[in-house]
Structure 1
Amino acid sequence: MNKEKRQQIFSRLQAQNPNPTTELNYNSPFELLIAVILSAQATDVGVNKATVKLFPIANTPEKIFTLGLTELKSYIKTIGLYNAKAENIIKTCQILIEKYNSEVPNTREALESLPGVGRKTANVVLNTAFRQSTMAVDTHIFRVSNRTGIAPGKNVLEVEKRLLRVVPKDFLLDAHHWLILHGRYVCKARKPQCGSCIIEDLCEYKEKTIA
């Protein structure tokens, strides 16, 4: 895909949604961090249903750590892998209290040192909470990048690096959100909705759907 096509694609996505953001509900970098940890192999809707009950009770490292493992599990038990996630969250809260003055760090290295925080989670927090130009490649972004031809790659890291290189700089800060939302609601895994897609004429996917 050439530079001009990418420019047009992101221009259209921006015009359609000028201020994109995550669909996870949060009011602080810490709440976002916890929500993203919970969102691994879970839907944003499912995470929001749990955090709407959890955050009014405990939304700081101290409060969740004081809540304790058993009580935390009772709030997040509807989410997949909740046992492991609860343990990681308690450990993360302890580290934030002891090492970071209860503040969420704003560097990749520090974030990735926290239990339950991998590269994708760190990228989401850096981009959404701290407005850094990172690219958190999930299954939606991986699919859209390959299917459309925007930034094809064999694995998520390859796609991430290529996106950072080829997405026009003016759009880089919000590109992560546009691509996720496009993959979630339009360029779906089983049947992409090509007929109602605003970038269909620019997309290089060869098996476009008619409906």
Structure 2
Amino acid sequence: MKPIFITGIGTGVGKTVAAAIITEALQANYWKPVQAGFDDGTDTLTVKELISNTQTVIFPEVYKLQLPASPHIAAREENITIDIAAIYQSYSQLATHHSHHSPLIIEGAGGLLVPLNESEFIIDLIKKLDARVILVSRNYLGSINHSLLTAAVCKANNLDVAGWLFNDQYLHYESEIEKWSGYKKIGAIPAATIINKALVREQAMLIKDQLKALL
């Protein structure tokens, strides 16, 4: 089974909560290979705290960088270079050790064109991993443009996109993004003041069947 890569239309669109919900829905394994900034905790720890099932295996980051910035800048601050080949090598090892029919959810950093080093971007990592993509879009003024730009980049690069997971609420144009992009809507996460296990479990149950059908 191909890994499932969670990417967003930008930064702060709710990828980590979406990744937790998808992980819970599929009782999948979870991996965030590149973490930039961890003063407020890591996305890996957040997912660990939000899931309820006992099947999920959570793998450690390959790069855990202190500065909350674009990964290539955060890495530069620590005098290292993010190497996609090294990430792929780690992926090969964990895929071998944990290939017991559990899907692997991989969470990216920011959007598709976030730089990992001086010449490679998140999209290059997706291609290297030959992953299926789930796009996370948060509803806000301007998100139609950001969503359709993201979809256009996916199409131009022949990415295997499973569909959209929308987040938050602002007007009602999810069906239009679905229509204009040509990618299916998997579900919509409501605006919530408290994100906890109960919410993640509830949302996971709501998208479970649709998710399995698309994957």
The structure that is strand-richer by fraction is 2
Does 1 or 2 have the higher relative contact order (CA < 8 Å, sep 6+)?
2
TM-score, structure 2 as length reference: 0.28
Structure with higher helix content:
1
Give the structure with higher Rg (CA): 1
